[in-house]
């Protein structure tokens, strides 16, 4: 499942978490869809539909028809993780969150910068790539378990 994360420096993390969850909950109750800049991006069908909003003091999860996002308010930081079944829907969720958060935080000049989530989110990673990220070589494969095509 593709995923992306953003760590947003702010002194108002809990406020943004509360505001975004409240906004999403209202959209979910009335059967509306969260609007984002679909027309400007020219991407396919409509925006995501809110299915469920779960919020605590410092953590929240918003489940959509196309994926979900989680938020964690920490001192000086709002950590956001978006997940979706495919890259296109992940981009849509990222666009939606970026637009909303930057609008809510415009006085603070809030900026959302996404990065691909860690190796656990990749489904096609090769073992060599994972070991390279960890900084150590892969363990040798015993001769009886090797793919004979690799020896050619």
Q: What is the pLDDT of residues 71-122, one digit of tens each?
A: 999 999 999 999 999 999 999 999 999 999 999 999 999 999 999 986 443 3
19-37 confidence digits (pLDDT tens): 999 988 887 775 555 555 4
CA distances from 106 to 27, 68, 112 (A): 22, 24, 11
> Is 39 part of any domain?
yes
pLDDT band at residue 40 under the 50/70/90 scheme: very low
Domain count, the chain: 1
- Which CATH number characterizes residue 113's domain? 3.30.310.50
User: What does each C-alpha distance from 58 to 33, 78, 79, 151 come to in angstroms?
Assistant: 25, 9, 10, 54
pTM here is: 0.68
Q: Which domain holds residue 81?
A: 3-138
pLDDT-derived band at 123 (thresholds 50, 70, 90) equals: very low
Classify residue 147: in a domain, yes or no. Answer: no
């Amino acid at each position: 499942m593709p995923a992306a994360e953003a760590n947003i420096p702010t002194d108002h993390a809990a406020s943004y978490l509360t505001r975004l969850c409240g906004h999403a909950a209202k959209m979910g109750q009335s059967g509306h869809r969260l609007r984002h800049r679909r027309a400007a991006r020219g991407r396919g069908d409509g925006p995501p539909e809110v299915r469920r909003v779960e919020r605590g003091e410092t953590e929240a999860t918003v489940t959509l028809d196309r994926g979900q996002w989680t938020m964690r308010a920490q001192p000086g930081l709002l950590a956001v993780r978006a997940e979706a079944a495919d890259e296109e829907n992940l981009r849509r969720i990222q666009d939606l969150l970026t637009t909303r958060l930057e609008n809510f935080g415009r006085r603070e000049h809030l900026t959302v910068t996404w990065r691909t989530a860690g190796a656990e989110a990749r489904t096609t990673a090769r073992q060599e790539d994972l070991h390279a990220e960890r900084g150590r070589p892969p363990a040798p494969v015993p001769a009886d378990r090797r793919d004979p095509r690799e020896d050619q």
